[in-house]
Structure formats: C-alpha cells, structure tokens
Homo-oligomer: A and B are copies of this chain.
Amino acid sequence: MKCLIIAAGEGSRLSHRGDSKPLVPLLELPLIERVILTANWTGISDFYIVIGYNGEKLRKHLNQFSQNKNLKITYFQNNQWKEENGLSVLAAKEKINENFILLMSDHIFNKSILAELLQEKIVDGEIILAVDYNLKNKIVDIDDVTKVLVDDKGRIVNIGKNIKEYNAYDTGIFLCSPAIFEALEESSDNGDTSLSAGIKILAKQKKSRVFDIKGKYWIDVDDENAFKKAENILFANLKKVSDGPVSRYLNRPISIKISKYLLKKSILPNQISLFSFIFSMVGALFFFFGGYANLLIGGILAQMASIIDGCDGEIARLKFQTSEFGGWYDAVLDRYADAFLLFGLTYYAYFLGENLLYLFIGFLAIIGSFVNSYTADKYDGLMKKNLTRGKHYFRIGRDVRIGIIFIGTLINQPVLILFIIAFLMNTENIRRILIFYNKK
C-alpha cells in the first residue's frame, strides 16, 4: 500500500533543534525517518512525501536515506505550506488513485497501531481515522490536539481543534480512499484548507469512521515539551511483557539507562550480544578459580552481563535494527553463557566438599535451565495470547536464574544457588508441560 506523509510545515516551535523539523533527531533518528521506518516495518515501501518549508534540504536527506533502506520515495512540493495541512494532502491527488495510508511527519506512534489499522476493510469513498479515546492521556497537548466527536456506531460526527463536544483525539494516522481528495477540494473551495475540514465533509456523508488505538502510545512532537515526552515514551516502551520480575525491577531500568548512552555510539546490537556473552564467560571463569573473592567477582560479572544483555534488543528496537537473526543469535549465546556459569558454580561447589551430590545438583540446574529456555517461546506465545493490555504474566526465566546466582554469590552460598535453580527450573518445566497438556 502507498503511504503519504505530509512534511511541509515550518514547525517553528522546534526550530531551536534544527532548521528542518522532520529532520530533528529524536533518539538519534530524524522524526520523519522514524515515521517512515515504522510504516516500513508493517510492510510498506512505497512512500509519497509532501515537502514545503526548507524542502530541498529534506529531499536531499531522504534521497540518501531511501537509497540506504531500499525504499521508493516520490516527492511533492507544496508551496502554500503556510496554509493549513489539507493542501499538502491535496498535492498528492494526481499520483494516488487507490486506498492509501496518510501520516504526519511529526507524529510518533506504536507500530502496532498501523499494523492493525492495515487489517481494516475500507469501503469505497470512506476514510478511517485512528483515534485515542483516552481523554485523560497526559501526553496530549490539549490546546493543540485535534478533537473528534464519534457516534456510537464509530462514525465521526465532528472534528476540529476548537470543537466543544468531543470524546476522542485525532492521532494523525489515517487509512484513506481517494475520496479524501475531492472532499479537500470542496472544503478549500469553501475557504477552509485544513485536513479536518475535508474529513468533516466526508463525515456529513457518513463516510468517516474511526479506529480505536486501545491505549497504545502516540505523540505529536510539536514543541520542546512534547519532544521530551516522546523520548520518555520511547524508552518506557522498551519494557516487554515477557520481562520476568528481576528484569522488570532491576535489569531493565538499568539497561535502559545504558542504552540511552549507547544510542549515540555506532555499536550494533549483535556486538552488544557478543559483548554480554564474553562478560558472562569471564564471570564463569572466575568460578573455576575457587575462593569467595572469585565467586563474588563471577557473580557480579554475571549479573552485569545479564543487564547488558537487555541493551541489544533495546538499541535494535529504538534504531529499527531488529532482525530474526539478531534475536536468535542472542538466545544461542545466552544458552552457552548460562551453561558455563552453572558449570563453573558446580565445579566450585564440588571442590568445596568433593561431594558427588553437588555434581548431580549442578547437572540438574543445567538441564533444568536449558529446558526452561527450550520451552520459553511456546510458553510466552500462550501467555501473550491471553494477556490484558498493560499486565504482566508469571515468568521464571533467565533474569531470575542470573539474579539467584548474583545474590547467592554475594552471600557465599554456591550449593544453595544450584539447589534453588535446579528445583525452580525443573518444577517450572513440569508446570509448563502440564499447562500445555491441559490446553491441548
């Protein structure tokens, strides 16, 4: 599907950050690149961009960008960029004769919104606007946001910045049929060049519907205040529902801070995975040396590696560098790291007392941990399916394992570590088998 992005305005309220608002970097990526890459993630690769103020600079930048990313970009110049944004949409009229996605170059949003909007069936002559029903959304600048009044059938009744009665906010994410162009021509002939005016005309014909974003994040990055909020939202959304308790309360808050720093470097996510792996392996090595000091150093290194291990995914998601290989590679390295840490501890414990039982407990910890990871994908898949938004689910995984190693080494209890991990992991594995047995 084609995607039209309007990027003609001056955006003077962010001019202190650069002379082209779409090129203002938000967490190291220009705003418009974020919007394009979000759409590209859903499978869109054919872009139409309306430029205006400082248009040549933007065009030059995006030419390079589209070559690197293998995207097709067609440009329209809107010389009336001082007028309202409806004219920018109208500029694309001759080139778009089918349904298309319409986005704002300065609206950042959760990519699932667009992925789900694309699943909507659009009727001829209709437009669908993604709206936020959460009127208490603190991210929204209430003076600047476009308000929408939606009836109980999901149809738009009224839309505008200054309407008194409303029950939703316009997120600036649209699925349009070409009927929008005629509506905009009519409204601008009537003297109103805003996009909302065109929508209102279609609304009168009962041709404007809404799509509920169900609380997912979106933000209009219009001024410094919104810019800061956008940074915070992007960081906050690095948390995953599959994060276990140790990750949620310890690892993730720290790893996000590290990622903030690493973002500015040119380090790649796979390099971070490898770095974290080496950290773990060095930690395991210390266990083999024996003695409390080495045990402690090993435990601290393991926990640090576990924290850093969050950064690869965070950087990848923030920079749109996620890949199937990356996630898999990280997981395989984690399996080796886990096994070496536990084997190191087993070795350490065994030579404390030459007790064969310790060897056996260590082995049970290793096999239990491995099967815990082996069953994780399937378990996560099932749990996510039944999850209410904003909630977490019970998860014993790698973060818990390494957390136990860390605390256990602090209090010098290597045998206890192995015993708890062996017990916890194998019990959890049996629980998972029973869950799936009952679900089948």
Contact = CB atoms under 8 A, between A and B. Distances in A.
Interface in A311-363: 323-325, 328-329, 331-332, 335-336, 339-340, 343, 347, 359, 363
B324 A440 contact: yes
Given A332-B433, A436-B328, A374 B371 contact: no
A361 to B, nearest CB: 12
A375 B336 CA distance: 12
A429 interface: yes
Interface string A416-440: 0000000000000100010011011
A343 B370 contact: no
Contact of A374 (B325, B363, B373, B440): B373
Interface SS of chain A: helix
A373 B436 CA distance: 20
Contact of A370 (B323, B329, B370, B375): B370
Contacts of A236: none
A206 interface: no
B328 A343 contact: no
B437 A325 contact: yes
Given A328-B378, A373-B374, A335 B367 contact: yes
A110 to B, nearest CB: 26
Interface string A71-100: 000000000000000000000000000000
A366 interface: yes
B375 A323 contact: no
B367 A325 contact: no
Contacts of A371: 332, 335-336
A106 B368 CA distance: 49
A383 to B, nearest CB: 15
A429 B339 CA distance: 15
A337 to B, nearest CB: 10
B436 A370 contact: no
A375 B332 contact: yes
B329 A437 contact: yes
A304 to B, nearest CB: 22
Nearest to A371: B335
Interface string A88-121: 0000000000000000000000000000000000
A347 B360 CA distance: 9
A287 B335 CA distance: 26
A343 B363 CA distance: 7
Nearest to A344: B363
A429 B332 contact: yes
Given A328-B436, A440-B323, A440-B325, A363 B378 contact: no
A311 B308 CA distance: 44
A324 to B, nearest CB: 7
A44 to B, nearest CB: 22
Given A359-B347, A378-B328, A335 B370 contact: yes
A103 to B, nearest CB: 28
Contacts of A440: 323-325
B436 A325 contact: yes
Contacts of A343: 363, 367
Interface in A368-401: 370-371, 373-375, 378
A436 B370 CA distance: 22
Contacts of A329: 433, 436-437
Contact of A335 (B336, B363, B374, B439): B374
6 contacts: A325-B440, A332-B371, A336-B367, A343-B363, A363-B366, A370-B370
Closest 6 CB pairs of A and B: A325-B440, A339-B367, A370-B370, A343-B363, A335-B371, A325-B436
Given A329-B433, A340-B367, A359-B359, 11 more contacts: A324-B440, A325-B440, A329-B436, A331-B374, A332-B375, A332-B429, A347-B359, A366-B366, A370-B370, A370-B374, A374-B374
